[in-house]
Amino acid sequence: MLKHPDIISLIDSMAQALRKRDGIEESLIIGIHSGGAWIAQHLHQTLGNTQQIGMLDISFYRDDFTQIGLNPQVKSSDLPDSIEGRDIILVDDVLHSGRTIRAAMNELFDYGRPKSISLAVLLDREGRQLPIQADVCGMNIHLAPHQQVKLSYVDNEFALKTLSTNTTDL
């Protein structure tokens, strides 16, 4: 679907949209493992943000892990000392149902009460189950209900594949 140069271009456009926001230099960028963390690192670099970057693993905060099982690669969350009263840019690779973002916000509030949370996503697709929307989006995509997208980052190269639950890679 999308190759590395296309994804970098989308991240650049996300950075441009974020630069228009007041106080972007003081905002804390937090990526959701794993795809959101990769995008957050590139956004952080592109923006020249001097704040410490944060990473969240929302595995224990998901409301569906009893149905799909716990992710076997649970990572620890790594946040700065305090998020209390801070403006946060929460970053993920794909916004679909909204459940990942809900879980991320639940975890963030366990660390403190941020001043604000803005959501930046690489891809926004239809299928919301919760009333959550992106403030900054690289691209809107339309997929069939049986399809999903998978972002990978190997050897400093992004790749995005469309997968089908009915077949192998498309």
Per-residue pLDDT of the chain (170 residues; tens, 9 = 90+): 789 999 999 999 999 999 998 888 889 999 999 999 999 999 999 999 989 999 999 988 877 655 555 555 667 899 987 899 999 999 999 999 999 999 999 999 999 999 999 999 999 999 999 999 999 999 999 999 889 999 999 999 999 999 987 754 43
Per-residue confidence (pLDDT) for residue 30, from 0 to 100: 98
Per-residue confidence (pLDDT) for residue 169, from 0 to 100: 43
Phi then psi for residue 102, to 5 deg, are -60, -45
Of 148, 15, 154, the residue nearest 89 (C-alpha): 15
Per-residue confidence (pLDDT) for residue 64, from 0 to 100: 65
Phi then psi for residue 132, to 5 deg, are -125, 135
Question: Two tokens at 156?
Answer: 């400093």
N-to-C CA span, the chain: 9
Domain boundaries, the chain: 2-164
CB atoms within 10 A of CB 27: 20
- Please check whether the domain covering 2-164 is classified as CATH 3.40.50.300: no
CA dist 32 and 58 (Å) reads 7
